[in-house]
């Protein structure tokens, strides 16, 4: 004999557990939550992004519903309306009389519904960590608190929740996908590596949150702008830049520019740029870049890690995940960080095969990527680049890596249409270098 038991648990995350209970042993044979999880529709965005609609332009918003009351809460995320206060933890509820569960509360400072945005983006961030890292971002439900204070132009993690102001002159309400993931990821860092929020570790802490913000943008949209907070920044641009952090006039591009006491938001430029360089390399993307930085945060970074120790951690994470460790070391070397972990044995460069074309290559200004080829018998071959945007330069040299001053062939033309004809000797290694004369993308490298 079994009993079917159910009861209702009121609160910010309401539950109605159902259980089949063995009458003799009391063992729970089966269980499920009977609360109707529902999906809300409504506007989001601001005057800069333009209005978009959940349930139309984006999927609907996961929340819960009981009768005619909708609550911005599910097992993973809840959103709190502080309504100008500075404390509070009750999930936002509203009357919803039909199946659309439409919410348009409320328009403020050019934004159409920060509450809708917060609940939706919170779920995106949770799903990204779950899908890409098989872990929740925090050890408890994400709490997204919006409408903090009066004209508050910031957002923060306070150890238990993410809080967002409505902005005023510089910002729209600070709830976009970048900032949402950024603040959640401060919590992730606190619960994992515990990077202290000063010195080099503080710069890494800030950078990891920026990286998570860009990763969440990619997870949600399939593309990125490489700018932190562009959607909530009034005017052109954004808060920080990945491709060249110094474009904001304050951040640093290279570890050689670091000094003790520098604002951690500005020293974050070192790891932000390393992430950019790595994620745009051949056979890498934002997902794989995020995975190695996140695993490093979980496994290899410590409270007071230096830049070199942090880079080493990312290299170890690349080994663990079977990614190209040498690419990691090179990306960090371009920002003045030694990520070699003291290992000096070189890793082979990407090997080109005769008749092969590698597509979608990209690189930053002054970046260098290397390839090799070796033929079994002597032949005249053509090494070529073509297509894409920007300006990559092609270099080829027999026996050793070319440099800007040492090479056998360097067409040195504007754009990406360059060709080297090589009388290749049998069983001899030839080295190919692609250098970013300017930032480039979408380039194809071929050996024929």
Residue 32: per-residue pLDDT: 60
CATH number at 260 reads 1.10.390.10
The answer to whether position 43 is within a domain reads yes
Judgement on whether residues 240 and 288 belong to the same structural domain of the protein: yes
368 contacts 326 by C-beta, under 8 angstroms: no
Judgement on whether residues 57 and 91 belong to the same structural domain of the protein: yes
With a CB cutoff of 8 Å and minimum separation 6, the contacts of 50 are: none
Judgement on whether residues 41 and 26 belong to the same structural domain of the protein: no
Judgement on whether residues 237 and 294 belong to the same structural domain of the protein: yes
Judgement on whether residues 50 and 22 belong to the same structural domain of the protein: no
The answer to whether position 187 is within a domain reads no
The answer to whether position 360 is within a domain reads yes
Interval 51-83: pLDDT, tens:
999 999 999 999 999 999 999 999 999 999 999
Q: How many domains, the chain?
A: 4
- Which structural domain, as residue segments, surrounds residue 9? 2-33
Interval 163-179: pLDDT, tens:
999 999 999 999 999 99
* Mean pLDDT score of the chain: 93
Assess whether 265 carries a catalytic annotation: yes
Residue 21: per-residue pLDDT: 75
Assess whether 182 carries a catalytic annotation: no
The answer to whether position 273 is within a domain reads yes
Residue 12: per-residue pLDDT: 43
Judgement on whether residues 42 and 123 belong to the same structural domain of the protein: yes
Spatial distance between the Cα atoms of 265 and 138, rounded to a whole number of angstroms? 23
The answer to whether position 429 is within a domain reads yes
Q: H-type helices in 228-355, by residue range?
A: 264-267, 269-279, 286-299, 307-320, 325-333
In sequence order, what DSSP letters do the residues of 359-392 get, joined into one string?
Answer: EEEEE-TT-EEEEEE-BSS-EEEEEEEE-SEEEE
177 contacts 121 by C-beta, under 8 angstroms: yes
Interval 194-216: pLDDT, tens:
999 999 999 999 999 999 999 99
Interval 275-301: pLDDT, tens:
999 999 989 999 999 999 999 999 999
Q: Quick one: average pLDDT of 365-388?
A: 93
Residue 34: per-residue pLDDT: 60
The answer to whether position 297 is within a domain reads yes
Judgement on whether residues 146 and 114 belong to the same structural domain of the protein: yes
pTM of the model: 0.75
Domain boundary among 306, 333, 360: 333
Judgement on whether residues 308 and 363 belong to the same structural domain of the protein: no
Judgement on whether residues 206 and 281 belong to the same structural domain of the protein: yes
Residue 342: per-residue pLDDT: 83
Judgement on whether residues 356 and 317 belong to the same structural domain of the protein: no
353 pLDDT more than 50: yes
Q: H-type helices in 19-162, by residue range?
A: 114-133
Spatial distance between the Cα atoms of 306 and 310, rounded to a whole number of angstroms? 6
The residue from 147, 182, 265, 431 that is catalytic is 265
The answer to whether position 131 is within a domain reads yes
CATH number at 126 reads 3.10.170.10
CATH number at 406 reads 2.60.120.380
First to last CA, the chain: 75
| CA 415 and chain centroid, separation | 30
| CA 124 and chain centroid, separation | 12
Coil/strand/helix, residue 303:
coil
Judgement on whether residues 310 and 274 belong to the same structural domain of the protein: yes
Spatial distance between the Cα atoms of 411 and 257, rounded to a whole number of angstroms? 34
With b for 16 or more beta-carbon neighbours within 10 A and e for fewer, the 417-441 pattern comes to ebebebebeeeebbbbbbbbbebbb
304 contacts 277 by C-beta, under 8 angstroms: no
Q: Judging by beta carbons within 10 Å of its beta carbon (0-12, 13-18, 19+), is residue 236 exposed, middle or buried?
A: exposed
- Using the Cα atoms of residue 80, residue 206, residue 294 and residue 173 in order, give the sign of their dihedral: positive
Residue 113: per-residue pLDDT: 99
Percent of the chain with pLDDT over 90: 85
312 contacts 343 by C-beta, under 8 angstroms: no
Residue 1: per-residue pLDDT: 73
Residue 10: per-residue pLDDT: 52
Spatial distance between the Cα atoms of 94 and 101, rounded to a whole number of angstroms? 9
Domain boundary among 301, 333, 365: 333
Domain boundary among 267, 300, 333: 333
Strands 142-148, 162-165: pairing is: parallel
Judgement on whether residues 164 and 79 belong to the same structural domain of the protein: yes
The residue from 147, 183, 217, 431 that is catalytic is 183
Check residue 76 and report its DSSP letter: S
The answer to whether position 380 is within a domain reads yes
């Amino acid at each position: 004999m079994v009993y079917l038991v159910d009861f209702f648990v009121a609160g910010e995350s309401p539950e109605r557990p159902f259980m089949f209970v063995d009458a003799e042993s009391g063992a729970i044979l089966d269980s499920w939550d009977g609360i109707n999880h529902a999906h809300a529709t409504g506007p989001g965005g601001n005057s800069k992004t333009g209005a978009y609609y959940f349930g139309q332009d984006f999927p609907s918003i996961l929340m819960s519903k009981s009768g005619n009351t909708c609550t911005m809460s599910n097992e993973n995320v809840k959103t709190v309306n502080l309504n100008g206060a500075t404390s509070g933890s009750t999930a936002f509820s509203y009357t919803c009389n039909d199946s659309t569960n439409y919410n348009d509360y409320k328009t403020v400072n050019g934004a159409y519904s920060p509450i809708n945005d917060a609940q939706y983006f919170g779920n995106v961030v949770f799903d990204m960590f779950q899908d890409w890292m098989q872990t929740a971002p925090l050890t408890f439900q994400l709490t997204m608190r919006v409408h903090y204070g009066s004209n508050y132009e910031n957002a923060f993690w306070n150890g238990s929740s993410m809080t967002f102001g409505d902005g005023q002159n510089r910002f729209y309400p600070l709830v976009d996908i970048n900032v949402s993931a950024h603040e959640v990821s401060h919590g992730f860092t606190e619960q994992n590596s515990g990077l202290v929020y000063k010195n080099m570790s503080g710069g890494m802490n800030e950078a990891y949150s920026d990286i998570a913000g860009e990763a969440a943008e990619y997870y949600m949209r399939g593309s990125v702008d490489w700018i932190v907070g562009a959607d909530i920044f009034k005017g052109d641009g954004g808060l920080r830049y990945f491709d060249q952090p110094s474009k904001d006039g304050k951040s640093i591009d290279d570890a050689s520019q670091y000094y003790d006491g520098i604002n951690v938001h500005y020293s974050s430029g070192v790891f932000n740029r390393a992430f950019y360089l790595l994620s745009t390399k051949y056979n890498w993307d934002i997902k794989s870049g995020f995975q190695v930085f996140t695993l490093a945060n979980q496994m290899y970074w410590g409270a007071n890690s230096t830049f070199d120790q942090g880079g080493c951690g990312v290299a170890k994470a690349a080994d663990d995940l079977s990614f190209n460790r040498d690419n990691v070391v090179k990306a960090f070397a371009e920002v003045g960080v030694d990520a070699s972990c003291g290992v000096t044995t070189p890793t082979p460069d990407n090997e080109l095969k005769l008749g092969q074309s590698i597509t979608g290559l990209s690189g930053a200004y002054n970046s260098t990527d290397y390839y090799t080829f070796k033929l079994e018998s002597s032949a005249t071959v053509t090494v070529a680049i073509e297509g894409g945007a920007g300006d990559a330069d092609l270099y080829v040299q027999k026996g050793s890596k070319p440099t800007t001053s040492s090479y056998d062939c360097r067409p040195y033309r504007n754009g990406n249409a360059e060709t080297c004809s090589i009388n290749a000797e049998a069983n001899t290694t030839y080295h190919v270098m692609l250098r970013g004369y300017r930032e480039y993308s979408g380039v194809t490298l071929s050996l024929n």
